[in-house]
Amino acid sequence: MSGLAIRIYGDPVLRQKALPIKNIDRRVRRLAKYMEEAMDKANGVGLAAPQVGVSERIIVVKVKSPIVLVNPVITYMEGEDLAEEGCLSLPNVVGDVGRATRVVVKGLDLNEREIEVEAKNLLARAFQHEIDHLDGILFIDRAVSIRRVEESSD
């Protein structure tokens, strides 16, 4: 099975506002599975559907165990922390981004059940980064400085 290609900065889909998902059907479940595989393959901690060319509101994040959220919304944020961030769609650059240290995120799981996730630190950062993608926002828009990192060989 061929994996989904990650869209790179310069692809218009990354700047589009993604549409809500109405039905969590087989297509959506399959998309979530492919996204998870693409994220794992690229050693990412999160991926949003626009990053694989699908302008719809679904994200996967994985700090310890994988979480899939459909139509996610941040309902609570607190704290602030400036730390280095990167993005699979922007290879070779990183930047320092200020993010809330604790967030509560609501959304639907793949069984269409409403779930609420409380996240701290890296997981909270990952949620904020991925949900931004759904609104066409990239970390470079929020970064106080961006810089190049050496090309990796993977």
Partner 1 sequence: MLSPERLIDIKDKLTGFDLGVVVAYGLIIPRKIINLFPMGIINLHPSLLPKYRGAAPIQWALLNGEEETGVSIIYLTEELDAGDIIIQEKVKILPEDNAETLSSRLSVIGANVLAKAVELIENNNVRPVPQNSLGIPSYAPKIEPQMGRIDWNTGARDIVNKVRALSLWPGAYFYSKGIKVNMLEAEVSPINGEAGKVIDIGDNGILVGSRDGSVWIKKIRPENRKIMSGLDFANGYRIKIGDPISDG
In the complex, the residues that contact partner 1 under the rule CB under 8 A are 9-12, 15, 90, 92-93, 140-141, 146-148
Q: Which residue, 42 or 140, is less far from partner 1 as judged by CB?
A: 140
Q: Which residue, 11 or 96, is less far from partner 1 as judged by CB?
A: 11
Supply the minimum distance, in Å, between the C-beta of residue 104 and partner 1.
29
Token pair 């995120």 is found at 105
Q: Which residue, 12 or 79, is less far from partner 1 as judged by CB?
A: 12
Token pair 């996610």 is found at 72
Supply the minimum distance, in Å, between the C-beta of residue 81 and partner 1.
23
Closest CA to 149 of 84, 63, 60, 77: 84
Supply the minimum distance, in Å, between the C-beta of residue 114 and partner 1.
34
| Residue 130 appears among annotated catalytic residues | yes
Q: Annotated catalytic residue: which of 85, 130, 150, 151? A: 130
CA distance 154 to 145: 25
Q: Which residue, 10 or 65, is less far from partner 1 as judged by CB?
A: 10
Supply the minimum distance, in Å, between the C-beta of residue 61 and partner 1.
24
Rounded (5°) CA angle 28-33-36: 125
Closest CA to 139 of 56, 131, 35: 131
Closest CA to 86 of 5, 3, 152, 37: 152
Residues with a known catalytic role? 130
